[in-house]
Amino acid sequence: MEDKKQIYVCSVCGYETVGPLPDDYICPVCGVDVTHFVLKEEKQ
C-alpha cells in the first residue's frame, strides 16, 4: 500500500481537494464537473 495523498486540482480555478472524487463531484469554487480536475501526486 502506498501512503501518499491524491490531490486533485481544478484546471479552471486552481482549487485543490483530496481524492478520490465521486463521479458527480462539482468544484465548490467555479462549479465545473469532475472532468476538469487533474490529479497531482503529492508526497508527504
Binding site for Zn ion (CB under 5 A): 10, 12-13, 15, 27, 29-30
Pick between residue 3 and residue 23 the one whose CB is nearest to Zn ion. Answer: 23
Q: Give the count of beta carbons closer than 10 Å to the beta carbon of residue 8.
A: 21
Please name which of 22, 41, 42 lies closest in space to residue 33, comparing C-alpha atoms. 22
Angstrom CA distances, 1 to 6, 21, 35, stand at: 13, 19, 26
Q: How far is the CB of 3 from Zn ion (least distance, A)?
A: 27
Pick between residue 33 and residue 43 the one whose CB is nearest to Zn ion. Answer: 33
Pick between residue 5 and residue 28 the one whose CB is nearest to Zn ion. Answer: 28
